[in-house]
Amino acid sequence: MSLKKTIEIDIVKVPSSKIESIDFENLAFGNVFTDHMFYCDCIDDVWQKPQIVPYEPFLLDPSAKVFHYGQAIFEGMKAYKDENDAVWLFRPDQNFERFNHSAKRMAMPEVPEAIFMEGLKVIVDMERNWVKKGIGNTLYIRPFMIATGTGVIAAPSNQYRFMIILSPAKSYYSGEVKVIIADHYSRAANGGIGAAKAAGNYSAQFYPTKLANEKGYQQIIWTDDASHTKLEEAGTMNVFFRINDTLYTAPTSERILDGVTRKSIIDLAKKEGFKVAVQSVLVSELVAASKNGSLKEIFGTGTAAVVNPIVGFSFEDIYYELPTIENSVALQLKEKLTKIQYKLEEDTFEWTVKV
């Protein structure tokens, strides 16, 4: 796949980069941003000329619709540097498609492919010094779109801003993750916005996650909203269960986000000869599998952490600890995927795209 140059961008560069002042060895995830940001406004369905300007705050009217009605969507992706200083993106076409799927669901305009892809390529290229070599170093990319039109009447905005900001990141290790299985709160419902990467899905999770944190759990495993019997996602990650030697993950639906890492792990696991079943696991099946010893692993998948092993889960106030195992499938798949992303292993799927 190649990225075609089809748009013109106005570029204003910073007088001098702040990169020398950044401690790349001690980066907290998502706190430091690069020198520049990309944006493109859409006014009455007409996309304006894209801009790259110094990273800085910008003004919005207090009645901007994003503040009142939550028209806000985003993506999360990463750039990687290989041993020869080339910079690579991972499946950006998937993020682009999902972005516009989210836009549609939130009654926002779809971003033209040239603006998304070319904007991405040009800004990442400009900031390539911020992508450090070596496994674990990445540039986290955050495309997002907000409703900037004014007026508190409850209707879709007539004005939007699409932006891309970039944050250098170290590999994300969240320590031992214990999860609690949701039996009351829901992340998403049929007919809702769970399949969109909408800001509101995250704010909806904060309170129940805070309650889980207070009980000593880092994340919640979300279940279906109607019956709380089917296991769906782990926090803001897709979730896999290894029962005996089969990896189970729920099919995507209106309640489950179609993760790029999830689908890549499915393809990779199949290629590596693991059995994969895309089918829902019931809470009762998980508890039974834990009791009879057939439950070997649980792990979340997402761009930030790639693969995040889970050490145990709580259901109805009983804690079920997972066995410690050698040759964890989660870690094998994480290593394989990471090597593809850093161009240390052949990319037979053609997932990586050079900037």
Given the complex with ligand PLP, which of 52 and 353 has the nearer CB atom? 353
In the complex with ligand PLP, the residue whose CB is nearer, 42 or 196, is 196
Only segment of 146-154, 266-274, 298-306, 314-322 that touches ligand PLP (CB under 6 A):
298-306
In whole angstroms, give the CA distance from residue 179 to residue 353. 35
**Span interacting with ligand PLP, options 40-48, 103-111, 113-121, 231-239, rule CB under 6 A:** 231-239
Does position 65 interact with ligand PLP (CB under 6 A)? The reply is no
303 binds ligand PLP (CB under 6 A): yes
CA distance 27 to 242: 33
Closest-CA residue to 222 (of 232, 207, 213): 232
Contact mark string toward ligand PLP, 73..102, x via CB under 6 A: ---x--------------------------
> Binding to ligand PLP by residue 237, rule CB under 6 A?
yes
Q: Is 337 in the site for ligand PLP (CB under 6 A)?
A: no
DSSP states along 297-329: EEEEEETTTEEEEEEEEEETTEEEEPPP-SS-H
User: Out of 262, 296, 334, 336, which residue is the one contacting ligand PLP (CB under 6 A)?
Assistant: 262
111 binds ligand PLP, rule: CB under 6 A: no
Backbone torsions φ then ψ of 274, nearest 5 degrees: -80, 150
Q: How far is CA 108 from CA 72, 101, 146, in A?
A: 9, 10, 9
Question: Interacting stretch for ligand PLP, rule CB under 6 A, among 3-11, 78-86, 112-120, 234-242?
Answer: 234-242
CB closer to ligand PLP, 111 vs 195? 195
Q: How far apart are CA 140 and CA 79, in angstroms?
A: 7
Round to whole Å and give the CA distance between 217 and 319.
Answer: 11
Q: Residue 256's beta-bridge partner residues? A: 253
Site residues, ligand PLP (CB under 6 A): 76, 197, 233, 236-238, 257, 259-262, 301-303
